Amino acid sequence: MRILVFNAGSSSLKFGLYDIAGTETLRVKGGFDRFHDGSCDLKLTVDGAHHRLRAPHGDLAAAIAAVPGILAAQGIDGINAIGHRIAHGGALFDKPAVLDTSTLARVEQLTPLAPLHNPANLAGVALARQVWPDLPQVGVFDTSFHLSAPEFSTTYAVPQAWRDAGLRRFGFHGTSHKYVGLRAAEVIGQPLDRLQIVSCHLGNGASVCAINRGRSMDSSMGLTPLEGLVMGTRSGDVDPGAFGFLSRRLGLTIEEIESALYTDSGLKALTGSPDMRDAEDRAAQGDTAAQLAIEIYAYRARKYIGAYAAAMGGIDALVFTGGIGENSASMRRRICDGLEFMGVTLDIDRNQRVDLADRAAPELQSWGSRVRVIVTETQEQLQIARETATALAVMRPARLVLPVAVSARHVHLCQEHVEALFGPGATLTPEFPLRQPGNFAAHQKVTIEGPKGALHQVRILGPTRSRTQIEVSRTDTFALGVEAPVRLSGDLDATPKIRLKGPAGSIETDGLIIAARHIHMHPDDAERWGVADREEVEVRVTGTGRGMTFSGVIVRVQPTAFTEMHIDTDEANAAGISGGAEGALITAD
């Protein structure tokens, strides 16, 4: 599939043409900016060759209209679709969307949340629809990646009426953070869903993202792109009490304050220029304002990195991207200095000799560092092309009917813990078989004891495993008084400890999790439906309760599996399911 990608700003346009089919090939990359007196600067990269010229295009409309001619001059045709970067999708768009009239109307309603970005993005869409009226146009939203974040990281502690009106944290640069996470996982050689990564997108707009096992857990930006780090012209974190203070002291209106926070703050307010390169040059010449700005910028970034490492309970990699993250060795050094306590140590020589050609992602950590430090050029346009192709894939009819089983709290024990709880030489006694071949509910039961309360008569499932695992619901964690992560079965590193009590003794063990919703799937069913192990799908549960579509359901392909979806009691209650149910698998080609 051949995808043309547009990232339209208020005074610039970036585009790229990608072939997405097995391999991913960038055919043409370009950008228009500095529109003035009927002309603009055009940067063009074709087959690795770079060209710069002054082109006769006076505005965004003329630039977009010129793209077909630029592509034709390179002998390129056969475009299948156009993907657009859209800054804010609110809570409405958790994935790419085909931009038809009704969808565009919903996106336009979100303009107050991104007043600098969404109007320019939508203008680009409107112009592209005029130039290519017969091609599908797809929106890829900066906010979508962050909609997986838990409620405790997205909820503001404000009156319910405000929250009902839509006041919540969203996060931005999601396309960049998603790409960076995937690229870091490639470098490390492990699946993204096993890694804890802090991604630093540092440019004119800047944000930090906690990517916890493949999902955005938190982002420094909030309801709008104002929150978080110091940026080129945006303030980052400011006490909301500033609105009242400035209104009383200076007589400023809400609109005037908001405009200044977007366009006259950040580096521009501190140094007179929104460009970090200018700040670094002036600081080297003794400019104290520029020196302070650099210190503030690095401090704010370092503070968020430390906070997110703590929030995830550890960090495997720290990744820098964006114009400043990719190009400023001194800023990377300032941010990393002082993070040695959490295992980040930077190699000075590697940091000075970064080469990002050919999608390189060099590692900058010194020998012995517990945390990898990686820098890579963000490829937002490539990620948009990927997601556009996925959005246009034909949906399979939902014919595969899955049994949906409700999995109550239970425990899997290792043999050592069986004997510790039930006595030397004890073994698990099967009481009844489960649908997964070889698995059974044991006669023995235990008590799970936490700092707040206990769960009694909790079933043990057999056979024994190499490591003890305790599966509870989110509601159960509040009864116990301990927080547990959402994990796949067997993914037990860095999980909290809990006490188990049996008739012969008690133990304290890690392995407490909330099980991620999943499907045990036989390889024949996986092949028939073209899904792979660890792929995420959607399942529509119908015919019982309220009916609900569960997203983010992880497929576990196992040679002896009985194909069946497992959800916990909280999820069953939300869907109105008592006992079992049936669901229809939904996935894209």
Give CA–CA dist 107/120, Å, rounded: 12
Strand-pair partners of 44: 30, 51
Tell me: pLDDT of 394 over 50.
Answer: no
Confidence of residue 282 (pLDDT cuts 50, 70, 90): very high
Q: What is the pLDDT of residue 398?
A: 43
- pLDDT above 90 as % of the chain: 75
Query: What CATH number is given to the structural domain containing 39?
Result: 3.30.420.40
Query: Within this chain, do residues 233 and 275 fall inside the same structural domain, yes or no?
Result: yes
Q: Do 191 and 198 touch, CB atoms closer than 8 A?
A: no
Query: Within this chain, do residues 187 and 137 fall inside the same structural domain, yes or no?
Result: no
Query: Within this chain, do residues 51 and 108 fall inside the same structural domain, yes or no?
Result: yes
Residue 479 domain-assigned?
no
- Kindly report which listed range (192-201, 233-242, 392-401, 522-531) carries the lowest average pLDDT score: 392-401
Query: Within this chain, do residues 179 and 251 fall inside the same structural domain, yes or no?
Result: yes
Tell me: pLDDT of 544 over 90.
Answer: no
Confidence of residue 376 (pLDDT cuts 50, 70, 90): very high
Which range in 95-99, 210-214, 551-555 is most confidently predicted, on average pLDDT?
A: 210-214
Domain boundary residue, one of 141, 161, 183: 141
Q: Do 229 and 208 touch, CB atoms closer than 8 A?
A: yes
Which residues fall within 8 angstroms of residue 158, CB to CB, at 6 or more apart? 167
Among the listed residues 207, 215, 194, 199, the one whose alpha carbon sits nearest the alpha carbon of residue 150:
215
Which residues fall within 8 angstroms of residue 281, CB to CB, at 6 or more apart? 290
Domain boundary residue, one of 385, 400, 430: 385
Q: Average pLDDT of 555-580?
A: 87
Tell me: pLDDT of 585 over 90.
Answer: no
Query: Within this chain, do residues 66 and 135 fall inside the same structural domain, yes or no?
Result: yes
- Kindly report which listed range (124-138, 297-311, 410-424, 546-560) carries the lowest average pLDDT score: 546-560
Tell me: pLDDT of 112 over 90.
Answer: no
| DSSP three-state, residue 507 | strand
Question: pLDDT tens, 459-487?
Answer: 999 999 999 999 999 999 999 999 999 99
Tell me: pLDDT of 17 over 60.
Answer: yes
Q: Do 329 and 277 touch, CB atoms closer than 8 A?
A: no
Tell me: pLDDT of 231 over 80.
Answer: yes
Residue 98 domain-assigned?
yes
Give CA–CA dist 464/470, Å, rounded: 13
| Higher pLDDT among residues 446 and 51, named by residue | 446
What pTM does this model have?
0.85
Q: Average pLDDT of 222-246?
A: 96
Residue 75 domain-assigned?
yes
Confidence of residue 246 (pLDDT cuts 50, 70, 90): very high
Q: Which residue has the tokens 């006769």?
A: 56
Query: Within this chain, do residues 63 and 205 fall inside the same structural domain, yes or no?
Result: no
Q: Average pLDDT of 56-79?
A: 90
Residues annotated within the binding site are: 7, 14, 85, 201-205, 275-277, 323-327, 380
Q: Do 366 and 395 touch, CB atoms closer than 8 A?
A: no
Confidence of residue 23 (pLDDT cuts 50, 70, 90): confident
For residue 252, report the phi and psi dihedrals to the nearest 5 degrees. -80, 145
Confidence of residue 423 (pLDDT cuts 50, 70, 90): very high
| Higher pLDDT among residues 552 and 425, named by residue | 425
Query: Within this chain, do residues 208 and 299 fall inside the same structural domain, yes or no?
Result: yes
Residue 136 carries which side chain, given as an amino acid letter?
P
Query: Within this chain, do residues 66 and 24 fall inside the same structural domain, yes or no?
Result: yes
Query: Within this chain, do residues 273 and 127 fall inside the same structural domain, yes or no?
Result: no
Kindly report the average pLDDT of the chain as a whole number.
92
Residue 361 domain-assigned?
yes
Residue 515 domain-assigned?
no
Q: Average pLDDT of 385-414?
A: 80
Q: Provide the domain count of the chain.
A: 2
Give CA–CA dist 362/136, Å, rounded: 37
Q: Average pLDDT of 401-423?
A: 93
Strand 2-8: give its sheet, edge to edge. Answer: 49-55, 39-46, 23-36, 13-21, 2-8, 81-86, 137-141, 97-98
Q: What is the pLDDT of residue 322?
A: 94
Residues annotated within the binding site for ATP are: 14, 201-205, 275-277, 323-327
- Residue 361 domain boundaries: 174-385
Q: What is the pLDDT of residue 273?
A: 95
Domain boundary residue, one of 100, 122, 141: 141
Strands 440-449 and 372-375: unpaired
Confidence of residue 157 (pLDDT cuts 50, 70, 90): very high
Residue 157 carries which side chain, given as an amino acid letter?
A
Residues annotated within the binding site for Mg(2+) are: 7, 380
Residue 487 domain-assigned?
no
Question: pLDDT tens, 71-98?
Answer: 998 888 889 999 999 999 999 898 899 9
Query: Within this chain, do residues 112 and 182 fall inside the same structural domain, yes or no?
Result: no
Query: Within this chain, do residues 76 and 187 fall inside the same structural domain, yes or no?
Result: no
Residues annotated within the binding site for substrate are: 85
Tell me: pLDDT of 184 over 70.
Answer: yes
Residue 569 domain-assigned?
no
Query: Within this chain, do residues 92 and 240 fall inside the same structural domain, yes or no?
Result: no
Which residues are catalytic, by number? 142
Residue 292 domain-assigned?
yes
Tell me: pLDDT of 587 over 70.
Answer: no
